[in-house]
Amino acid sequence: MTPPVIKLKNIGKTYSNGKVEVDALRSIDLEIAQGEFVAIMGSSGSGKSTLMNILGCLDVQSQGDYLLDGSDIMELESDEKAEIRSTKIGFVFQSFNLLPRTTALENVELPLVYSAMPGAERKKLASAALALVGLEQRADHLPNQLSGGQQQRVAIARAVVNNPRMILADEPTGNLDTATSYEIMKIFRDLNEQGKTIVMITHEEDIASHSKRIINLKDGEIIDDRSNNPI
Ligand SMILES: Nc1ncnc2c1ncn2[C@@H]1O[C@H](COP(=O)(O)OP(=O)(O)OP(=O)(O)O)[C@@H](O)[C@H]1O
Ligand SMILES: [Mg+2]
């Protein structure tokens, strides 16, 4: 069996602002293998984004071990973590996070700008990623000339342009209507079929039903972890 991409051992996260301490995550044990499609559910404040930030190396745990592809995150320097974020993980957020005065194509190119890749090659990869989400005709549009669903597709193209193995998505359909949400889920399912590991936060049961495994958090703990047959 291949080792898990993600292995969390007894992970805890405590936020403290002055006097108040919040245990956002408590004794989380979790393994996710390459190629899984996992939905993380739970009510507001249950620790979903905190978990996602740790998985994405955007924040560090207060206790426990996180092994990503076998490397202990705590032993990495910050530039090594930045390298992991930019090469192994693609991020998708609820609010799309596109640069406003920048075309769809240029937004998708962004993750490649810091690499040594020649501009023509960058454009080629970005165009291919836009085509993957069905937006090749909109390459020169600015974000405010696109619908919400189209903006999220641009964000997904940006997340996959450098071919990461894993996609982390925090409420990717939170700002979209039902029909558009299904289009976005179709793209995630296709990416998963192509072998990408997907971890997606959602509080909507019908969005989670597109995944193959559903994890429920409550008060910072995993209270349920079950496999799911996507419809
Ligand atoms: N930077 C922070 N400082 C202090 N407390 C925080 C911080 N970030 C999150 N928390 C607290 O940690 C707990 C978990 O927050 P988190 O954002 O992970 O929840 P969530 O499940 O993503 O909720 P939502 O569905 O509303 O996005 C909450 O009680 C929250 O108030
Ligand atoms: Mg959240």
Domains of the chain: 35-60+85-227 (3.40.50.300)
121: which 2 tokens? Answer: 């090659």
**Predicted pLDDT of residue 151:** 97
Pocket mutation for ligand 1, best pick of 44, 50, 52, 200 (most atoms within 8 Å of C-beta): 50
| Nearest ligand to residue 204 Cα | 1
**Is the C-beta atom of 15 inside 6 A of ligand 1?**
yes
pTM attached to this predicted model: 0.94
For 161-171, the pLDDT digits (tens) are 999 999 999 99
What's the whole-number average pLDDT of the chain?
Answer: 95
**Predicted pLDDT of residue 1:** 60
Q: Which residues of the chain have pLDDT under 50?
A: none
Q: How far is the CA of 52 from the centre of ligand 1 (A)?
A: 11
CA 164 to CA 174: how far, in whole Å? 23
Identify which of 186, 183, 218 has the alpha carbon closest to the alpha carbon of residue 203: 218
**Is the C-beta atom of 50 inside 6 A of ligand 1?**
yes
Identify which of 30, 34, 37 has the alpha carbon closest to the alpha carbon of residue 229: 37
Q: How far is the CA of 203 from the centre of ligand 2 (A)?
A: 9
**Predicted pLDDT of residue 66:** 97
CA 29 to CA 60: how far, in whole Å? 15
Question: Ligand 1: which residue has its CA nearest to atom 18?
Answer: 47
Question: Ligand 1: which residue has its CA nearest to atom 2?
Answer: 15
Question: Ligand 1: which residue has its CA nearest to atom 17?
Answer: 49
| Residue 140: half-sphere exposure toward Cβ, Cα within 13 Å | 0
Q: How far is the CA of 95 from the centre of ligand 2 (A)?
A: 12
**Predicted pLDDT of residue 114:** 80
Q: What is the dihedral of CA 192, 196, 200, 206, to 10 degrees?
A: 0
Cα 84 to Cα 30, 55, 181, 210, 225, distances in angstroms: 20, 11, 29, 27, 27
